[in-house]
Structure 1
Amino acid sequence: MQLQFLGTGAGMPSKERKTSALVMKLLDELGTIWLFDCGEATQHQILETTIKPRKIDKIFVTHLHGDHIYGLPGFIGSRSFLGGDTPLTIYGPKGLKEWVEMTNDVTGTHLTYPLEFVEVEEGIVFENEQFIVRAMPLQHVVPCFGYRIEQKPLAGALDIKKATALGVPKGPLLGRLKAGQDIVLEDGTAVRSVDVLSEPQPGFIVTILGDTRQCDNALALAQQADVLVHESTFDHATAKLARQYGHSTNIEAATVAQQAGVGTLLLNHLSARFLAKDLARMTKEARAIHEKTYLVSDFRTFEWHQRQLIEK
């Protein structure tokens, strides 16, 4: 799993930061990519990466402010032009489906793939054999959600030496054992997968929040997450503005991470008011509360490797 930030600015694009967009690359796990929010420059940012739009099969939208959705019409159309023919599912608050479909109708946009919508409410919004995605409402000035992505426990590692000692030959029988299936050898000997597999390993948990004030649901979504992506639109000196406009400060985000027992905190959605000299200070302030904190910029990429998040 990789996280790559395409847009980390708040409100409107700047020379340094485009508006909100984040991809979760699940190429090893599912062979697909998930996109979280789609600010207006998203497809332009994708051109600077190795991301193939047709590989994106899910878009999770946190809320309907323009800096989080104005890139959707362009991306949806370009995905079709680039040969996308597999379904695309968009998850988001009430009103998103109406806006996208109206935009497509007015502009005469024809898609070569099925476009599906899921209106998000609190609870599980997606589940398959490998992942669960949960949503909870946050506290912003319009309806806004945060998402918690949980990878289900992974099968234990196969002990080849132990399996061989039990008479299992090389080939598909080893694969069946690794998949958790019991087998019977040609001589009638039964071999249980539990006898040749290590204990199941926990999957990763990533929490991605939309715009929000510090609130109980943000804390609930972040509980024991390996990674928390939290907005940091303001700092302590501008905390009054944060409360007024439904946003958080770097210190508030770090406090959520510390209280929730988060592994790594990634701060994004920064106001353009902050200059380069401010960013080092804001990072230092957050790290005083939660040590493993990064204030991210466009195109920064992190990879989940050996149960820890490392920067690529």
Structure 2
Amino acid sequence: MQITFLGTSSGVPTRSRNVSSVALKLPQRSELWLFDCGEGTQHQFLRSELKISQLTRIFITHMHGDHIFGLMGLLASCGLAGNVQSIDIYGPPGLNEYLQAALRYSHTHFSYPVKVHTITSGLIYEDQEFYIYCGVLYHRITAFGYRVIEKDRPGRFDVAKAQRWHIPPGKIYSQLKHGETVTLEDGRVINGADLCGDAEIGRKIAYCTDTVYCDRAVQLAEDADVLIHEATFAHQDAEMAFRRLHSTSTMAAQTALAANAHRLIITHFSPRYNPGNPIEFKDLLKEARAIFPKTDMAYDFMSYEVPRRRDSIIV
């Protein structure tokens, strides 16, 4: 599971940071999921190594422009040049109406199926490998955070051991790989767990923006391998953060700490902290690390390989 940050600024883009968008590349399948789609996201795709043709699902947190203004352009481009098969979009009430109005007034027609799912708190998607949950955060308008859970996988099947035990190959191997107990023709009872290594624990990712510190963000981030959390403001600007219902760097760190997350990546930074200002981005990172040492600061096109509880790789 590889996370790529396509936009890490809040409110407006800057020369070095576009507005919010995060891509998740799924393991062992040519599929991309996108979280938020600020203006210019399709241009960020072109500047990255991601393939727009692999995009299948888009998850929108809320209806503020820096999270949705790129959506219509991206969807139109997918139809014209992206070779996309279909896209499912998940988001708050009003999202479908917004897209329908844009389609009507721009006289745009999608050449592939697009389905919009209006979400409420709880499980919103499941397939053979993943669950996706959402929950309402605490912002000026309805805003959702997301939690992606990779399902546990059975341990590696020891084929050589099965052969030594003279277990005939075929359907039985498949059953044993899934940990089932099988009775052979000769009467032996074989427990699949005896032929499999330790199960691979599924990874967990939480994405929380925009929000002030709240219990729901902690719940979404519980035991997450990585929490992606907004850190719009520095700690000394906490009063402004509370007024605007955004998080400071320290609030993001407190969320990660309370949730027992394994790593925190902060994003969605106010341009007021650009280099040369009294407080800079590096100061926000220092503040967060004082509370939660395993914190990294996102930048546009940063990639993060979500580990299976091993050392992380950031490029």
Q: Secondary structure at the match of 1:126?
A: strand
The worse-fitting range, judged by mean Cα deviation, of 91-100 and 281-290 is: 281-290
Q: Cα gap change, 1:275/1:151 in structure 2, threshold over 3 Å: closer, same or farther? A: same
What TM-score do you get using the length of structure 2 for normalisation?
0.92
What TM-score do you get using the length of structure 1 for normalisation?
0.93
- The one-letter amino acid paired with 2:15 is K
The worse-fitting range, judged by mean Cα deviation, of 1-10 and 145-154 is: 145-154
Query: Equivalent residue for 1:65?
Result: 64
Root-mean-square deviation (CA, aligned residues, Å) is 2.0
| Aligned pairs (5 A) from 1:7-156 | 7-28=7-28, 30-156=29-155
The worse-fitting range, judged by mean Cα deviation, of 139-148 and 270-279 is: 270-279
User: Of 279, 298, 314, which residue of structure 2 is paired with 1:311?
Assistant: 314
Q: Between the two proteins, what is the percent identity of the paired residues?
A: 38
| Aligned pairs (5 A) from 1:140-179 | 140-168=139-167, 174=173, 177-179=176-178
Task: Give 1:185 shift.
Answer: 6.9
Contact 1:84 1:112 in 2 (8 A): no
Task: Give 1:70 shift.
Answer: 0.3
1:301 aligns with 2:300: no
Q: Structure 2 regions of 5+ residues with no counterpart?
A: none
Contact 2:2 2:305 in 1 (8 A): yes
Q: Aligned residue pairs: how many? A: 311
Q: Cα gap change, 1:161/1:39 in structure 2, threshold over 3 Å: closer, same or farther? A: same
Task: Give 1:15 shift.
Answer: 0.3
1:145-189 Cα shifts (integer Å, max 9, x gaps): 000111111111212332121124677865554344666778786
Query: Equivalent residue for 2:263?
Result: 264
Q: Secondary structure at the match of 2:281?
A: helix
| Aligned pairs (5 A) from 1:221-260 | 221-260=220-259
Q: Cα gap change, 1:3/1:212 in structure 2, threshold over 3 Å: closer, same or farther? A: same
1:67-110 Cα shifts (integer Å, max 9, x gaps): 00000011001111125342211000000001011101211112
Contact 1:63 1:93 in 2 (8 A): yes
Task: Give 1:193 shift.
Answer: 2.3
The worse-fitting range, judged by mean Cα deviation, of 131-140 and 272-281 is: 272-281
Contact 1:53 1:82 in 2 (8 A): no
CA distance in structure 1 between the partners assigned to 2:314 and 2:162 by the alignment = 37
